[in-house]
Amino acid sequence: NEKLENVFDVKKTIVKKSYLVIRNSIMHSYKFKKLLELRNKIT
């Protein structure tokens, strides 16, 4: 039973980390798109 809870914790941590990574990359690409749009408006 203790082993099972450990595995569950590890999975939760992995899910959390991958969620953060995905969210960060989405935010990053969104900002990048906005920057490109701004640059296109200026030129």
Per-residue pLDDT of the chain (43 residues; tens, 9 = 90+): 789 899 999 999 999 999 999 999 999 999 999 999 999 998 7
Torsion of CA 27, 29, 30, 33, to 10 degrees: 160
- C-alpha pair distances (Å), 3 with each of 6, 9, 12, 15, 21: 5, 10, 14, 18, 27
Per-residue b/e over 7-39, b at no fewer than 16 CB within 10 Å? Answer: eeeeeeeeeeeeeeeeeeeeeeeeeeeeeeeee
Does the pTM surpass 0.85? The reply is no
